[in-house]
Copies of this chain bind each other. A is one copy, B any other.
Amino acid sequence: MNLNSLSKIRAQAPLVHNITNYVVMNNTANALLAIGASPVMAHSIHEVEAMVQLSQALVINIGTLSDAWIESMALAAQTAARLNIPIVLDPVGCGATEYRTRTALKLLRTARLSVIRGNASEIQALAYGSGNTKGVDSIHTPQDAFDAARELAQTYGCVVSVSGPVDLVVCCDRAAHISNGHPLMTRVTGMGCTSSALTGAFLAVEPDIFNAACLTMVVMGVAGELAAKIAVGPGSFQMHFLDVLHGINESDILQRAQVTWS
């Protein structure tokens, strides 16, 4: 992993364009600011092309969909692909409803993405269609998640980043298992969405997509561990997490990273 991406983000403050869900917009923007990037949110069909052109990364998150937003997401993705701007897709709730699965698949086919970042259920639903999951709480084995991620990576030529107790980052010929993180991360809304947004920030400064995706999950996990050490519960965890992201350095990451490459 090229740890100096972190200082590159802080030096360059890349603009990350987010078309994301209403629930996490504030957290997403704050996490991007805390790590040193510059967030922008814009979803109107009349301005997404212009905004993508100013940006160094595009993050699309389908957490609270409606038809007008889907149209804008597709146009933004096409624009970013044309300009070689890296795209992250967070298929929130994919598999829970047909509408979300269909939308995520449509976006996958609209433009070549750099990274798909979701949880195991979402990645499975995306890989195998909507038939194989039962809502948002489906439990899969690590091997199931790996197989689905590899399938997606091969079909769409992208990197797949799967969050869970052990995070998994997969591309066609490489994989990493990342054991950092803390259970409190599941008690705060939008930590997955934050991972997706930060993946955009790392992609903006790091040309190796697989490395950018891995480093993001390591930074998320290490920041989660450091925040959990001083948190009383999910409220204070959320606050400390932003403080930690703002102050984290390469030595924190080196000391705590738990990555297995394969």
A residues sitting closer than 8 Å to B (CB atoms) are 13, 15, 21-27, 29-30, 33-34, 38-44, 46-47, 50-51, 54, 63-68, 93, 96-100, 135-137, 186-190, 231-236, 238-247
Inter-chain contact B34/A93, CB cutoff 8 Å: no
* Chain B hits for A65, CB < 8 A: 42, 44, 47
Inter-chain contact A243/B235, CB cutoff 8 Å: yes
* Chain B hits for A186, CB < 8 A: 33
Minimum CB–CB distance for A39 against chain B, Å: 7
* Chain B hits for A96, CB < 8 A: 40, 50-51, 54
Inter-chain contact A189/B30, CB cutoff 8 Å: yes
Minimum CB–CB distance for A138 against chain B, Å: 11
Inter-chain contact A40/B189, CB cutoff 8 Å: no
A231–B99 CA distance with the chains assembled, in angstroms: 43
Inter-chain contact B187/A246, CB cutoff 8 Å: yes
